Every structure is written in structure tokens, then in C-alpha cells.
Amino acid sequence: MIPRPELLADLSASYVLTSGATVSGDLVDAVRPALPGLDLRPGDSGEIDVRRDPGLGEEAYRLAVGSRGVEIVAGGRAGAFYAAQSLHQLLPDASYRFSEATSWPVPGVRIEDAPRFAWRGLHLDVARHFFPKREILRLIDLMAMHKLNRLHLHLVDDQGWRVESRAYPLLHEVSSHRPRTATNYYREPDAYDDVPHGGYYTLDDLAEMGAYARSRCVTIVPEIDVPGHASAILAAYPAFGATGERHDVLDRWGISPAILSPLPPTVEFLTTIFDELIGALGEAPYVHIGGDEVVLDHWAASAEIGAYRASLGLETANDLQAWFLRRLADALAERGARAVVWDEAFVSGGLRQDTIVMPWRGMGVGRRAAAAGHDVVATPVFPLYFDYAEASSPDEPMAIGDAITVADVAAFEPAPGDWTEAERARVMGVQAQLWTERVPDARTVDYRLWPRACALAEVAWAGPGPSGFDDRLAGHLGRLDAIGVEYRPQAGPHPWQRRRPHRPSGVRVVDVMARIDEMTHDAESTRPSM
């Protein structure tokens, strides 16, 4: 979040923060990661005084800068960390570079602040295109700078499996790579790059990522998307499929009919995977289990699965999917984690009451989930799918459709005023999604995420902002320049960012939203919506 003017009260006394400054108090470890390059040192009395106030919320803080130094009062470690991030934003842009400078001027201010939403998230699809550990650690740093605190990693899809499994090693040996990748645009003739693509995180990588994230007040939310999107899994272990047939790791985009079996061996397989993930991360209060875009034809056609469904007293394949997801949610609850699902799983019914719903098909279904007593994280395609282009222009790099702008994101209200108070109370927060079918590298990740994620941070921390966001964003971009973020300029892409040109209006987001919202009213709308 970029500090808003109404949070700043001038104390008419500036201060100079010196490299090597001492920091004192019981939350020293929370402040230091937020001020890299300043070489802060703990001391008995410091220029930065950090204290805990149990009367504040865990993420709330008060920050005061005056002639005698800096005072931070926080409800908990996260509050102290975010106070230090706000302090850093008061320093010159050059403070975000590692340099030999020894001091920075800080204006005298008083800030009292706390987040509106507990869940302030970014989603990154590492299944369609893999991004190595170094990029995840960098993204965590950028999220922390913007007070974003949930990193949702989409670890498996038809096009790849992205984490080591010591119990089922063929997952990372076979399912983590494909021989080529589709390069054609939507509804164009098939074309491929004929370049092998792959990669996966070891469990040690995952442990490091989890610890690094926690040190920056970010929680990693792993996603194992089931029972559909299963081609990669079934390339390694076809016995867990509904038909027993082997599939190839998909090299094109779109959805495969490949689906896991709901039978007990599959549940046992997935609970073992959950144990590996949770054990590696160190803690995983949330695990996403998907439930979206499932083609149930193979379940309906299987005599064995049909007999199993009947033995459970279930009438339809949709009922069986609901049972399957609830069984996985039960297993996660036994391990101290809450299940998270996409909205198709809610529409099918039968979820555990503590399952969190992500309504990607619009806030209409999100409201129904909230009214049913489910916690909701707002994730609608418009305006929170950052794989859509920022403009309807061939100058943009290829995107799934158009257009979602910074202004669209900044104006989004996750808990609208026409919802009831009880419904609004169920909105845990907001999260933007970056699907990577057309995001082949880290430079494109930067382009797609920023500065739209700056607007997301505003909405997630404080809600849609007052006028003046564009001016404040313009000032903030200097910080991103200093860090080296290759964001999309507000005036349009640089010449070198105009790769694989976009096809304007091939898929218009307004048309998509109308179509998928209508589908949410069908209890059997598990089939692919896009």
C-alpha cells in the first residue's frame, strides 16, 4: 500500500536515519527485514524504538518520526514489519538501492494504520510456466513491500507438476516437464515452440520459501487442483485416474477431460501429498484444493465409480465431487489447515462449513457463498485476472483477452455496500490472479503484475481509495524503478515489451463475465467456463 495523505500528520520536525542505526525493543526482528541496506543494529537504546501494544490488532501500528528519532508501536510482529515498510516509503527512492550512502532524511510524521482485510493476496500459476525459486523469493519481497500477505502458488495443472514428492517420485521425474509449448493465440491454428519446458521445487526449496515468506509476514497457500486438471498427475500415476489410462503432460492450453478417481486410493495419495507440502512449508494454515472446471464424464461412465457413489448414498456425479472435496477438506482439518476452493465447488454444494470460497466467476456467486456462511476471498476475473491485457492494443504482449486497467483494479470494492452486514463480514479479503499460459518468463510476470498489484494493495489494505491515486502511484513508481521492477509504464509498453503481439478484442472481459456469471446458477456448472 502507498501511504495515503490523510494518514500523514506533519510533526514539523524531520529526522536523519543513519546507516548503522540502532533499534531497540521486543520486535527488532520484525523491523530489520523491511529496511534492507540500512544495516540496523540492536541496542539498549536506539534511534528506532519498537514497542508492543497488546491493545492493537496484530497487523496494526503507530509510527511517529520526530527530532529525537523513530517510534513504532505495534500490536504484533506483523504490525511492526508494516510500520517499517511505511517508514521505508518515507525515505528517498534511492534508499531502495544498495549503495554507500550513510544517511537518509525522514519527514516528521505520525501514522496510525491497520488493514481492512486479513487476506491480501497474489496468485501465481507456476504450473503452466515454471518460475524458479529465486523469482518466488523476489516476489515475496515485492509483496511485503506492498503489505500483501498471501502468496497462492498454483502448483499443478494439466501442463505440469511443480513440487518434489519423495513418496511419489514420478510426479517430479515425469510430470514436471513437457516437450513443447503452444504459442498460438485463442482460436488460431495450433503452433508450438518445440522447446522443452519444466522444473519443480524440491521440498527443501519449499521449506526455504516458507521460512522466507514468514520472515516477511507472507503466508504461502499451496494449491493442488483436483479432481480435474489432472493430465500431469496421470502422466506419472495413471492408476489414480478414472479410466486407468495414461495421459501426457499437456502441451497446449485449454482443459483436458483427464480426471482423478474419487476412490479411496486417490484420497490416500492426496493426503500423503498434503503431508509432504505441510511438512515442508513448516506451517500451512490454508491449502487450496481447486474443484474448478471439472469434466465429470469419466466418473459417470465408470461402473466401479458408479457403484462407489451408490454405496455412499449419493445420486449424481456432482454429489460425488462434493463428497470428494469434503473428504479432502476433512483430511486437511485433521492437519490444522483450512481448505480453499474455487466457486464451482460451492455451487456443487456439500462443502465443509469452514471451507473458504474464491468466487472467480464474479461477486454474485461470492455473495451467495457468503450468505451461506462461507468465508470468501474476492477473486473475480474482472478486475482481478492479471493475465488480461491492460489495453485493447496490438502493442500489448499477447494476453488471454482485454482489458483490465490499473484504474479498474483501484476502483474495485470487494464487499459492496448493498450486501448485508453479515455478508460483508464474510469477506476475508481480496486476491489477484496471474495465470501464465501467455506469461513465459519473469520479465512478463513483472509487466503483468505491476503496477496493477499496487492498486490491489490499496484495495486490500484500505479499500478503494480517494482521488489522487494516479499521482501517488506516479511517485511510487520511482521505488519500483530503484528495485528493478520491469512494470508496464502507464503510457504503454516500452518497445522491448511488445513481444508476441496481442489480438485486441479476441476475448472481451465484459462478455466473459456475463457468460460465467450465468453459469454459476447451474449446480452442474463444473464444466470448463472459459
Catalytic positions, please?
157, 229, 293
Give the bridge partners for 154, in sequence order: 125, 223
Q: Which of 15, 146, 12 is nearest to 89 (CA)?
A: 146
Show the cell assigned to 143.
Answer: 509483496
Instruction: State residue 318 phi and psi, 5-degree precision.
Output: -65, -40
- Residues 6 or more apart from 138 whose CB is under 8 A from it? none
The three state secondary structure string of 179-237 is: CCCECCCCCCCCCECCCCEECCECHHHHHHHHHHHHHCCCEEEEEEEECCCCHHHHHHC
Show the cell assigned to 321.
Answer: 465431487
Q: In angstroms, rounded to a whole number, what is the distance separating the alpha carbons of residues 90 and 95?
A: 10
Q: Are the C-beta atoms of residues 40 and 500 closer than 8 Å to each other?
A: no
Instruction: Please measure the distance between the N-terminal and C-terminal CA atoms of the chain and give it in whole angstroms.
Output: 32
Number of Cβ within 10 Å of residue 7's Cβ equals 15
Q: In angstroms, rounded to a whole number, what is the distance separating the alpha carbons of residues 445 and 440?
A: 8
Helices (H), 59-169: 77-89, 133-145
Q: Which of 212, 8, 191 is nearest to 113 (CA)?
A: 8
Q: In angstroms, rounded to a whole number, what is the distance separating the alpha carbons of residues 290 and 210?
A: 21
Number of Cβ within 10 Å of residue 141's Cβ equals 15
